[in-house]
């Protein structure tokens, strides 16, 4: 449960750019991915290992053991809006 909560928290910014993002899966998946990777007000970037000033208030070292690394975290988050 907590693993999904952690992932869901990081897709919340999609609501800003894609209010009905669940209905746009696959049609806008590439744009959703780009948006999440450029939205600087989310700790998503911190957990991907990207540098940003806001990183000073969070410690990604305390990354939950739900994911092996930043790539497995990215894959998990993207699985919410990219169907294979």
If you write DSSP's letter for every residue of 28-78 in order, what string do you get?
Answer: SHHHHHHHHHH-TTSTHHHHTT---GGGGG--GGG--TTSSSHHHHHHHHH
Strand, helix or coil for residue 69 = coil
Q: What is the pLDDT of residues 26-79, one digit of tens each?
A: 777 888 899 999 998 998 998 888 888 777 677 767 666 788 888 999 999 998
Decide which of 84 and 41 is more confident: 41
Measured between alpha carbons, how far is residue 11 from residues 21, 41, 84 in Å? 10, 12, 18
Say what the pTM is. Answer: 0.78
């Amino acid at each position: 449960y907590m693993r999904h909560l952690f992932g869901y928290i990081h897709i919340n910014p999609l609501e800003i750019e894609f209010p009905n993002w669940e209905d746009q899966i696959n049609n806008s998946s590439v744009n959703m991915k780009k948006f999440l990777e450029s939205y600087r007000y989310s700790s998503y970037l911190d957990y991907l290992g990207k540098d940003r000033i806001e990183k000073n208030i969070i410690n990604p070292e305390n990354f939950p053991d739900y994911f092996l690394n930043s790539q497995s975290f990215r894959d998990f988050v993207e699985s919410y809006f990219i169907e294979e």
